[in-house]
Amino acid sequence: MKIRVSRACSRVFRAQGTAYFFPAWQIGTGLNGIVLGLAVALALIAGWTDWRSRRIPNWLTVPGFLIGVSANVLVGGWAGLKTSLLGAGLGLLVLLPFVFLRSLGAGDWKLAGALGAFVGWEMLVNLLMGSVLVAGVMALGLVIYKRRFKQTLRNIGSLLASMFTFRMPGAEVSLDNPHSLKVPYGVALALTTLLFGIGKMWGAR
């Protein structure tokens, strides 16, 4: 009996020479449910800290990145490592220009990289696109509430012009401006990750 159990366990936890330590709960194509749950948890904690203090600390994003890489390695071996690093690299690369333009905080940037380490580059693209929509809705609500629609349009034009001319924007659109309206992007990214996680898990039922 012990020999049979051992052989059965060996077949369950070994595939193509790679050991899998997480249960094979797949959400969609190649996405493990536990890994997705960890990503959602990281996003929610980061969103909460961003909402409360307008910052996302390194003690959250750096361990989050390491856990994301480790989780994918445990799930998929070398293929999981590749997926994780590509996701993290994409998140850091895409948002880096906005950090240089001072329109995005470093904590938000690192959060995108950490989430990419969990979900891989394909899902991260969806998360980033969705978060832009969520952040836009939040920003529109804030602009209407503060009655600063014209000033916001001027700031957007200034920011776009600086991106196309490769010049730094004026201080009025910088995060350093205490009078500018600021939307906590970490909150928008957290809400998007939560909605995507619910959608993926609901679709897997």
| Average pLDDT per consecutive 10 residues, the chain (205 residues; last block may be shorter) | 41 43 52 89 96 93 96 92 96 92 89 96 94 84 65 58 53 47 84 92 71
Residue 132 has which token pair? Answer: 């832009």
pLDDT at 82: 94
Distance CA 85, CA 100 (A): 22
Distance CA 205, CA 192 (A): 20
Evaluate whether 118 touches 35 at the Cβ level (below 8 Å). yes
pLDDT at 137: 82
What is the amino acid identity at position 19?
A
Domain boundaries, the chain: 26-203
What is the amino acid identity at position 27?
I
Model-wide pTM > 0.85? no
- Cβ–Cβ contacts within 10 Å for residue 201, how many? 16
Evaluate whether 46 touches 190 at the Cβ level (below 8 Å). yes
